[in-house]
Amino acid sequence: MTPTDLPPVRTASPRLHFAPRNNWMNDPNGLVFHDGLYHLYFQYNPQGVEHANLSWGHATSTDLVRWTEHDPAILWDDDAQIFSGSVVVDHGNTSGFGTAEAPPLVALYTAAAPGHQSQALAYSTDGGYVWTKYDGNPVLDRGTSDFRDPKVFRYDDGGDGYWVMVAVEAEDRQVLFHRSDDLKTWTYLSSYGPAGPVGGVWECPDMFPLAVDGDETDVRWVLLISLNPGGIAGGSGTHYVVGDFDGTTFRASVPHAAPTRELLRAGSQTRDELERYGWIDFGPDCYAGVTFDGLSRSERTLIAWMDNWKYAGRIPTHDSDERRSAMTLPRRLSLTRDAEGVERLRQHPAIGFEVEESIDLLSMAGGVALAERVAGAARIRFTATFGDAQSIELHIESASEEGRVVIRQDRTSGRVELERLGEGMPSGFRGSPSMTLDRRDEIGWDLWVDDLNERVSSVELFAQNGERVLTALIPVASPRTYTVTAVGGSLDGVRADIAERGC
């Protein structure tokens, strides 16, 4: 199948995020950019809206906004479900499944059977549409029950290079590194952990190099680890560690102390403890994020599952679509160094959204409606300084209280809090996720809102130039009015850029 033969692009909601036509979806898998197309594979139940019969769904895009969904790529069978994994383009045909002129795509995934998980391989010679499971599976088996989620990349050792697999022993909170020359035979290299957040099992690792502040002579490696539960906002979340990788061992720039046996058994850490670590997202609904293979270092792009294991299986669906879950916005990643010399991950949306209206004020007291009766998707970029105001609030409201959201930034503490109601939503949904900013006199929000279906919407807030991100699902209440309010004084240098994408 060639790109010109692909089925027509879906036009249903959501407007900015990928969601399947129907059925259950969770973790993104096998993200790869190949021959001008972004391929998104994902955990998928082809038979219903429950977490079962896990296979790999498949969608493609040329721009990360408009997605074409295809038939499921790799199907579960009586022997195993197809858990998370990754896809690489085998340019040197090291696996022997293709040719040097027509390199194969190779998927490494977890074959999950009751009480046993191992790593298996499938390959495609038609650009990623039809997949064949390897007769020699499994390609890596430790004989354990929770060894999963392989992320594979090509490591440049100054010579011909080799493949590296990053996977987890989930219950042990360990990341394991293996190497291969042909993607079929793997040799153990080293391990990382347990360390840092350990309040839940570790899952869906990824690792990649990024230049600090764009300086290609100053490159660090970023290790992503998702955990469930134990996330910063409760339930599932994704932690990151910055360090160095020499082709064998990963070493954190700022090592985290190994947890005690008591802590591993207790499985809980305080909010103050969790604040010490790096997080991809401070909201409750960003999990299992991984990045695309096949893009340059400066284009490193991540997509995550926009949900939380606390309630994902109980989020209401709509009768007309019967689907659960969506993916986050695609996010372009970079590294920066703060005033203390600590490397921090930055994220910016990797898609465009043209500004339709701007508001520019020298100062503002009280409230100003930024946009009224917006249905569908909206983006609001809002900047200001506090003046003598004590806090700022952005109210997202409709004629109904259902889905009302208040985003609040406090000048003294620097904390940004999102208050979400949970009418019609399952237990565990209500709450006020928050994050603390370093620059406390400044307000710099890049807010994205989208209707995922007729019952659920999403809010993604990028702050402090992408160093802090907060993602949360909300009940739908559309159309919406967006009103900003200065509390206890006035704001100075107010500017808002507004974009809408209607239904």
Q: Which two structure tokens, joined as six digits, stand for 139? A: 């390609």
Beta strands in 114-195 (DSSP E): 116-124, 132-133, 147-155, 162-169, 174-180, 187-192
Catalytic residue among 5, 27, 71, 360: 27
> DSSP secondary structure string, 229-245?
S--TTSS-EEEEEEEEE
The rounded distance, in Å, linking the Cα atoms of 292 and 294 is 6
Yes or no: say if 293 and 287 are a contact pair by the CB < 8 Å rule: no
CA angle (216 as vertex; 212, 217 as ends), nearest 5: 95
d(CA 408, CA 75): 45
Token pair recorded at residue 447 = 């807010």
CB 449, CB 457: distance < 8 Å = yes
Q: Please indicate whether residue 497 is annotated as part of the active site.
A: no
Element (H, E) at 12: none
**Residue whose C-alpha is closest to residue 494's, from 316, 407, 367:** 367
Residue 100 structure tokens: 């040097």
d(CA 177, CA 248): 7
Residue 130: CB atoms within 10 A of its CB come to 12
Strands 23-34 and 323-324: parallel
CB-side neighbour CA atoms (13 Å) of 59: 25
Residues 6+ apart with CB under 8 A from 363: 387, 490, 491, 492, 493, 494
Dist CA 133 CA 147 (whole Å): 19
Paired tokens of 36: 């001008």
How far, in Å, CA of 51 to CA of 34, rounded? 29
Alpha-carbon span 37 to 63, nearest angstrom: 8
**Terminal Cα-to-Cα distance of the chain (whole angstroms):** 31
Q: Cβ-count burial of 271 within 10 angstroms (0-12 exposed, 13-18 middle, 19+ buried)?
A: exposed
Point out the residues that are catalytic: 27
